[in-house]
Amino acid sequence: MGLDMYLSKKTYVKNWEHQSPEQKHEITVLKGGKPRQDIKPERISYIEEEVAYWRKFNALHAWFVNNCGDGEDTCQEMYVDEEKIKEILGILKEVKEILDNSKKIKKVVTGFGGNEIEIEVYEDEEKVMELLPTQSGFFFGGTEIDEYYKDEVINSIEVFEVLLEELEEHRRNGIPTGDFYYQASW
């Protein structure tokens, strides 16, 4: 249970009669080295790849909901265009820079069961929250700007940089780039 977050890439591969043989895709789904009988290659329209997965990075989830889902959070699929990928990458880099230059401080929070516990958080929490605020929710994870948050920021920067590099390489080579979609479940 918890906030599971997926970014997928869908590539259109449907074949049409008017296409030349060079334009057509050949798709076979194998299991144990043998074609699956329950999947008809001629019916396949899209290939979907999971390009990223996050667990309980609620700040990124909130960003996708607010910037790609019109503020609606119903576990729906949300289209994410390349400009949005560039936008969130810029925000993540700015957040990382703030955290890299911020001191860690001790903070007392109320944990599960109402117990007070001392944790380490980053001092420049307010600056970070202006750029990429956390979001509370049922099983959404913590809302502190701590080491977990920073690790997720760093991981996400890498994910989005790789995606943008792939898009650029595909463009240079005349390969279709596909479409990106974000979806969460909890």
**Mean pLDDT per 10-residue interval, the chain, length 186 residues:** 95 93 92 96 95 98 98 97 99 99 92 86 96 92 95 99 97 93 96
- As a whole number of angstroms, the distance between CA 168 and CA 29 comes to 28
Taking the domains of the chain in order of start, what are their residue ranges?
A: 57-185
- As a whole number of angstroms, the distance between CA 19 and CA 42 comes to 14
Contact criterion met (CB below 8 Å) for 102 and 129: no
Residue 160 CB partners (closer than 8 Å, separation 6+): 85, 88, 89, 92
Contact criterion met (CB below 8 Å) for 53 and 185: no
E strands, the chain, where? 4-12, 30-31, 34-35, 46-55, 78-80, 104-110, 116-122, 179-185
pLDDT at 111: 76
**CB 82: neighbour CB atoms within 10 A?**
14
pLDDT at 178: 94
pLDDT at 110: 84
> Which three-class secondary structure string do you get for 16-63?
CCCCCHHHCCCCCCEECCEECCCCCHHHCCEEEEEEEEEECCHHHHHH
pLDDT at 176: 85
Q: In the 8-state DSSP scheme, what is residue 123?
A: T
pLDDT at 112: 74
pLDDT at 57: 98
